[in-house]
Amino acid sequence: MSQSAQRPTGPNRPQRSQSLQSSQGEPGGSGRVSARTAAGSARPTLEEVAALAGVGRGTVSRVVNGSPRVSEKAREAVNAAIAELGYVPNRAARTLVTSRTDSIALVVPEAETRLFSEPYFSDIISGVSAELAETDMQLLLILVRNQRERERLSAYLTAQRVDGVLLVSVHQDDPLPSLLESLEIPSVLAGRRGDLEPLSYVHADNAGGARMAVRHLLRRGCEEVATITGPLDMEGARARLSGYRQALEEAGRPYQEELVGPGDFTEEGGRLAMRELLERRPGLDAVFCASDVMAAGALQVLRAAGRRVPDDVAVIGFDDSIVARHTDPALTSVRQPIEEMGRTMARLLLEEIAEQGRARRQVVLATELVVRESA
Amino acid sequence: MSQSAQRPTGPNRPQRSQSLQSSQGEPGGSGRVSARTAAGSARPTLEEVAALAGVGRGTVSRVVNGSPRVSEKAREAVNAAIAELGYVPNRAARTLVTSRTDSIALVVPEAETRLFSEPYFSDIISGVSAELAETDMQLLLILVRNQRERERLSAYLTAQRVDGVLLVSVHQDDPLPSLLESLEIPSVLAGRRGDLEPLSYVHADNAGGARMAVRHLLRRGCEEVATITGPLDMEGARARLSGYRQALEEAGRPYQEELVGPGDFTEEGGRLAMRELLERRPGLDAVFCASDVMAAGALQVLRAAGRRVPDDVAVIGFDDSIVARHTDPALTSVRQPIEEMGRTMARLLLEEIAEQGRARRQVVLATELVVRESA
DNA sequence: GTAGAGTGTGGGAGCGCTCCCACGGAAGGC
DNA sequence: GCCTTCCGTGGGAGCGCTCCCACACTCTAC
């Protein structure tokens, strides 16, 4: 414990061995290879900026991080040096000391993936990314496809590798929200588990959209308006059903169980439900479907049964997905502002991270009825 | 420069000021807030593991990184200590010294986004993510929507913040591939710019798929097979056209310019092209469309023109997107294995990163004809 | 004049890791 | 017997930052 006078090759540029490993290395090993691209000139460090600007490291750091307690003169010198050297702060070094990672994760349980109305995922991402573009937050994407990966995620989050989490999840019993809750990591959900969701969330006004749709049908003179619901363990599906009910009741119509067909957001589910509804209530003249995909299924059954849409039976879907534009006739549908949901989620999360805050936020975004041919 | 005996509050737990900022802070500032969640017990460090296992830091590091030069006894002691403490290596610290980030970026020029056949993006992500799940690579998502963001990306990559890049890009003149080339950062493209693509890439056998489709039409007895192409500045679109041509020629049919309608992968483009084709060649009895969306447009025009599909005119699309399943009649289409493309891209990239290699790889994945009602 | 309260600044210490040198002990060669 | 190798190992140094203390230095009071 004493030969401290011996220093290695160089003070600043540790020589890494360039020896190549045996051609392929052992397969399956974690394959450590001396990393360090042969890349060109080394990246300038904060210290070099300080030297060039003729100030201390502290001052450069203050300038870079926008601290107000820096003289105008020093600030200018530093900024000039930064520009000259093309300095970019090293994120890892910063993270190491602040334990702030400047990145957030978008977590998607892949099971849900199949229920997404099609451009959903891209739209969410697009919104999130747009909001993040102004900051220097990184977006990490994490798909969780099974229990093992859920555990990995848990370890991952515990290891504080992100500053916050956006979770796209809708199922009542998804374990992920609770995980986030117990980890006390800033997070925002797309959708919510129920009325009492304790986490921050953003969702579309499902009930309002459904109400609009059904009002539209009633206004058109429909007398027997049926509905095909989504899986009722999803809050969104429940809300759409209750919107349907509200619209009927406000029009003084009775809510009849017989007119409610349980679906599951799939096309086949839509077909099944439609068949049952037709059997129970052959006189129905309108169907509000809780998703476009189910509506597409319903459309097929209606046509097979010889009903003309919209003349005999008017049909409305939900999501305004691509499917809506390609059915025949094209579907009238309720649009959710998905990209804006993404943007809002990101914004809320950034706020929550910034204020270290316990304050939960919830935002409901308006939906909109897009009228096409089917109603 | 001498009072080195003074240490701060504690050796291990630097006290950060907990003072709150004035409620909202100045809007627009870079809003630095002392980061550090009130989180519970501190994460164990490698040093603590070493202490518990009764070995040195070096040995723990070797075990964690799978070095073979560790005695069985030491390895066991270390692993036990790791398990007991729940140790997870600090990524930032590791990155700081290795300048390896263990993360890769999926870069998507958002302009292209609109051309994606719908589940494309999710499928790519799903594949990439599946492949990465086994490693401890992180997936960063970067959408690039304009010149400014392209520059930011460039700075980002120069700053070595990822070990490699997956680029979803197809346009001939996209500047991003060249950027990657000049940065010499490991990267893999989805699709390629042309035959001579110097970067690694994965793409579907577009020509082969088109050939299959056209052969299918000819086998059904079609005599006048037209095609609606994609934008020909995209290699994929060109390949589909040349597959069409090949199939005709191998059947001894002439390739006729008149039967080629230029499209742009949009529905409106499909409609336009179909109208022109019908005008030029009213006798055509089949159309191979380079995308499902264009096929959907073509279908509308054909119906409006009183042509029955498939009886009068057979139609085949490309992509096997959701659209294909919802048109009337449902579209026969060429399926690309998109998720597998994602998986393959990730795999190639990992290889390229591991071997620091200059070796470029290119993989072509087979396509498949999905026969439905339209042909 | 001196005490007191700022305000800008430099730079030590330390974040948690990997790298690599040096060392002790076991195994082999003469 | 001694001199080499060869392994497994401990631990110093250092990656590039931020934090914070201490030191000028300037004002304002008394």
Q: Taking the CB of residue B329, how many other CB atoms lie within 10 A of it?
A: 15
Q: Residue A265, by phi and psi: left (phi above 0), alpha (psi -120 to 50) or beta?
A: left
Name the residue facing A126 among B96, B122, B143 (closest C-beta).
B143
Q: Would you list the DSSP string of B203-232?
A: EE-HHHHHHHHHHHHHHTT-SSEEEEE--T
Asked if B278 contacts B288 with a C-beta cutoff of 8 angstroms, the reply is no
Indicate the pairing of strand B187-190 with strand B200-204: parallel
Domains of chain B: 46-89 (1.10.260.40), 103-204+340-365 (3.40.50.2300), 206-335 (3.40.50.2300)
C-alpha atoms less than 13 angstroms from C-alpha of B321 in its C-beta half-sphere:
26
A151–chain B Cβ distance below 8 A for any pair:
no
Q: What's the Å distance between residue A69 CA and nucleotide D28 C1'?
A: 20
User: In whole angstroms, what is the distance from residue B27 CA to residue B269 CA?
Assistant: 46
Taking Cα atoms as reference points, which of A216, A191, A190, A235 lies closest to residue A369? A216
Q: What's the Å distance between residue B1 CA and nucleotide C2 C1'?
A: 29
CA dihedral B60, B90, B137, B100 (to 10 degrees): -80
Looking at per-residue pLDDT, the higher value among A36 and B81 belongs to B81
Q: Which nucleotide is nearest to A54 (CA to C1')?
A: C10
pLDDT digit string, tens, across residues A195-215: 888 899 999 999 999 999 999
Q: What's the Å distance between residue B19 CA and nucleotide D30 C1'?
A: 33
B359–chain A Cβ distance below 8 A for any pair:
no
User: In whole angstroms, what is the distance from residue B68 CA to residue B353 CA?
Assistant: 21
Percent of chain A with pLDDT over 90: 54
3-state secondary structure of B318: strand
Q: How far apart are the first and last CA of chain A?
A: 85
User: In whole angstroms, what is the distance from residue A241 CA to residue A206 CA?
Assistant: 9
B42–chain A Cβ distance below 8 A for any pair:
no
| Averaged confidence pLDDT in chain A | 84
User: In whole angstroms, what is the distance from residue A374 CA to residue A317 CA?
Assistant: 9
Instruction: Tokens for B317, please give them.
Output: 């699309």
Task: From residues 62-91 of B, list those within 7 angstroms of strand C by Cβ.
Answer: 64-65, 87, 89-90
| Helix and strand totals (H; E) in chain B | 14, 12
User: In whole angstroms, what is the distance from residue B332 CA to residue B344 CA?
Assistant: 26
Asked if B287 contacts B274 with a C-beta cutoff of 8 angstroms, the reply is yes
Predicted confidence (pLDDT) at residue A329 exceeds the cutoff of 50? yes
Q: What's the Å distance between residue B50 CA and nucleotide D29 C1'?
A: 58
Instruction: Tokens for A291, please give them.
Output: 């998703």
Asked if A166 contacts A129 with a C-beta cutoff of 8 angstroms, the reply is no
Predicted confidence (pLDDT) at residue A24 exceeds the cutoff of 60? no
User: In whole angstroms, what is the distance from residue B258 CA to residue B59 CA?
Assistant: 73
Task: From residues 2-31 of A, list those within 7 angstroms of strand C by Cβ.
Answer: 3, 6, 8-9, 14-17
Work out whether the CA dihedral B148, B151, B156, B157 comes out positive or negative: positive
Looking at per-residue pLDDT, the higher value among B143 and A15 belongs to B143
Nearest residue in chain B measured CA to CA from A330: B327
Q: Residue written as tokens 């934008």? A: B231
Confidence of residue A118 (pLDDT cuts 50, 70, 90): confident
User: In whole angstroms, what is the distance from residue A119 CA to residue A318 CA?
Assistant: 13
Confidence of residue A303 (pLDDT cuts 50, 70, 90): very high
User: In whole angstroms, what is the distance from residue B179 CA to residue B188 CA?
Assistant: 13
Predicted confidence (pLDDT) at residue A278 exceeds the cutoff of 70? yes
Cβ of A64 less than 7 A from strand C: no
Asked if B90 contacts B42 with a C-beta cutoff of 8 angstroms, the reply is no
Predicted confidence (pLDDT) at residue A29 exceeds the cutoff of 60? no
Confidence of residue A41 (pLDDT cuts 50, 70, 90): low
Confidence of residue A171 (pLDDT cuts 50, 70, 90): confident
C-alpha atoms less than 13 angstroms from C-alpha of B23 in its C-beta half-sphere:
1
Query: Quick one: pLDDT at residue A357?
Result: 64
3-state secondary structure of A253: coil
Nearest residue in chain A measured CA to CA from B143: A129
H or E segment to which residue B200 belongs? strand B200-204
CA dihedral A116, A119, A124, A129 (to 10 degrees): 150
Q: Residue written as tokens 């609770």? A: A178
Residues on chain A touching B159 (C-beta within 8 angstroms):
43, 88, 90-91
Predicted confidence (pLDDT) at residue A356 exceeds the cutoff of 50? yes
Predicted confidence (pLDDT) at residue A324 exceeds the cutoff of 60? yes
Asked if A267 contacts A239 with a C-beta cutoff of 8 angstroms, the reply is no
3-state secondary structure of A95: helix
Nearest residue in chain B measured CA to CA from A100: B35
pLDDT digit string, tens, across residues A66-90: 888 888 888 998 999 999 988 989 9
Asked if B236 contacts B206 with a C-beta cutoff of 8 angstroms, the reply is yes
Question: Rounded to the nearest 5°, which phi and psi values hold at A225?
Answer: -100, 115
The tens-digit pLDDT sequence of chain B (375 residues) is: 333 333 333 333 333 332 223 333 333 333 333 333 333 456 889 999 999 989 989 999 999 988 888 888 889 989 999 999 889 899 999 999 998 899 999 999 877 767 777 788 888 999 999 999 988 899 999 999 888 888 888 888 887 789 999 999 777 788 889 888 888 889 999 988 888 888 999 999 999 999 999 999 999 999 999 999 999 988 999 999 999 999 999 999 999 999 999 999 988 999 999 999 999 999 999 999 999 999 999 999 999 999 998 899 999 999 999 888 888 889 999 999 999 999 999 999 999 998 876 678 899 999 999 999 988
pLDDT digit string, tens, across residues B63-107: 998 888 888 888 998 999 999 988 989 999 999 999 889 999 999
Cβ of B46 less than 7 A from strand C: yes
The answer to whether the CB atoms of B130 and A145 lie below 8 A apart is yes
Looking at per-residue pLDDT, the higher value among A170 and B62 belongs to B62
A48–chain B Cβ distance below 8 A for any pair:
no
Lowest mean pLDDT among A122-126, A239-243, A330-334, B193-197: B193-197
The letter for the amino acid at A284 is: L
Predicted confidence (pLDDT) at residue A22 exceeds the cutoff of 90? no
Cβ of A67 less than 7 A from strand D: no
Taking Cα atoms as reference points, which of B172, B151, B169 lies closest to residue B107? B169
The letter for the amino acid at B184 is: E
Which of B18, B70, B150, B326 would you mutate first to test chain A, the one with the most A CBs within 10 A? B326
pLDDT digit string, tens, across residues B287-308: 999 999 999 999 999 999 999 9
**Which residues are CB-contacts of A263 (< 8 A; sequence separation ≥ 6)?**
A228, A229, A230, A231, A269, A270, A272, A273, A289, A290, A291, A294
Query: Quick one: pLDDT at residue B357?
Result: 64
Taking Cα atoms as reference points, which of B161, B187, B167, B166 lies closest to residue B357? B187
Instruction: Tokens for B251, please give them.
Output: 């059947």
Query: Quick one: pLDDT at residue A337?
Result: 94
User: In whole angstroms, what is the distance from residue B165 CA to residue B353 CA?
Assistant: 10
User: In whole angstroms, what is the distance from residue B28 CA to residue B329 CA?
Assistant: 54
Query: Quick one: pLDDT at residue A325?
Result: 87
User: In whole angstroms, what is the distance from residue A351 CA to residue A333 CA?
Assistant: 33
User: In whole angstroms, what is the distance from residue A8 CA to residue B176 CA?
Assistant: 40
User: In whole angstroms, what is the distance from residue B362 CA to residue B358 CA?
Assistant: 13
Query: Quick one: pLDDT at residue B151?
Result: 86
User: In whole angstroms, what is the distance from residue B322 CA to residue B283 CA?
Assistant: 30
The residue-averaged pLDDT of A14-42 equals 34
Question: Rounded to the nearest 5°, which phi and psi values hold at A223?
Answer: -105, -45
User: In whole angstroms, what is the distance from residue B192 CA to residue B336 CA?
Assistant: 15
C-alpha atoms less than 13 angstroms from C-alpha of B359 in its C-beta half-sphere:
11
Query: Quick one: pLDDT at residue B16?
Result: 32
Cβ of A69 less than 7 A from strand C: yes
Question: Helix axis angle, A72-85 relative to A57-64, nearest 10°?
Answer: 90
